[in-house]
């Protein structure tokens, strides 16, 4: 993915009061670290950051961070947000190398129409909405797509069945369910039992009976 340039101003004052003044001026307090770069307090323009991270790649957008004329390839990592407004109040920028493998959280998106499930008035349960993957920074996918068009009641798609792009791996249990096609008459307890069955877990009542 092509990187987006974001200018970061070094030498920002630290502390809660100074951070509030920065935010009031439309800037976001941040820290740059990684690859022999000593943790450096900086600030970035709030609008520039929102623009950079609002594309298809979201927070996994590869950035060219310009710190006083020195450019660093970086990813936005820990984004702290205001509890009410949801705006970013602080961000950590991790300096990365194009050749290293990094971890990222990628959304899992359902595509297609599960007509067989719809005809039976069933529903799709989507317990895994994002996936932790490992890839080089330029190869992080914007999303992992799951085609549900061939699903019928009782079917499930598991992590091991996902089609990951070349160079992308995951450590998540391959038996972890991503999407489950459930019937419309399933009660809350039955849905819990179905989910337990999909994950290989033992429902509480069955476990209790087994203990006896």
Tens-level pLDDT at each residue, the chain (212 residues)? 689 999 999 988 888 999 999 999 999 999 999 988 889 999 999 999 999 999 999 999 999 999 999 999 999 998 899 898 888 999 999 999 999 999 999 999 999 999 999 999 999 999 999 999 999 999 999 999 999 999 999 999 999 999 999 999 999 999 999 999 998 765 445 555 555 555 555 555 444 444 44
Whether the Cβ atoms of residue 141 and residue 106 lie closer than 8 Å to each other: yes
Sign of CA dihedral 6, 94, 10, 22: positive
Q: Nearest 5 degrees, angle CA 105-CA 159-CA 173?
A: 85
| Number of CB atoms found within 10 A of residue 163's CB | 9
Q: Kindly give the pairing relationship between strand 63-67 and strand 4-10.
A: parallel
Q: Which domains does the chain have, with CATH numbers?
A: 4-96 (2.40.240.10), 103-202 (2.170.120.20)
């Amino acid at each position: 993915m092509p990187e987006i340039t974001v200018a970061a101003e070094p030498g920002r004052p630290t502390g809660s009061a100074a951070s509030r003044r920065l935010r009031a001026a439309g800037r976001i307090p941040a820290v740059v670290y990684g690859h022999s770069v000593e943790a450096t307090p900086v600030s970035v323009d709030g609008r520039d950051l929102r623009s950079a991270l609002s594309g298809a790649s979201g927070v996994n957008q590869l950035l060219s961070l310009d710190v006083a004329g020195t450019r660093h390839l970086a990813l936005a990592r820990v984004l702290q947000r205001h509890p009410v407004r949801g705006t970013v109040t602080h961000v950590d920028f991790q300096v990365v190398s194009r050749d290293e493998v990094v971890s990222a959280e990628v959304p899992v998106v359902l595509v297609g129409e599960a007509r067989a499930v719809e005809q039976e008035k069933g529903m799709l349960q989507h317990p895994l909405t994002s996936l932790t993957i490992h890839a080089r920074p330029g190869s992080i996918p914007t999303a992992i797509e799951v085609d549900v068009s061939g699903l019928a009641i009782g079917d499930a798609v598991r992590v091991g069945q996902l089609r990951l792009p070349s160079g992308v791996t995951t450590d998540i249990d391959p038996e972890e369910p991503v999407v489950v096609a459930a019937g419309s008459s399933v009660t809350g307890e039955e849905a819990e039992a179905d989910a337990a069955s999909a994950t290989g877990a033992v429902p509480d009542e069955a476990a209790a009976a087994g203990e006896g």
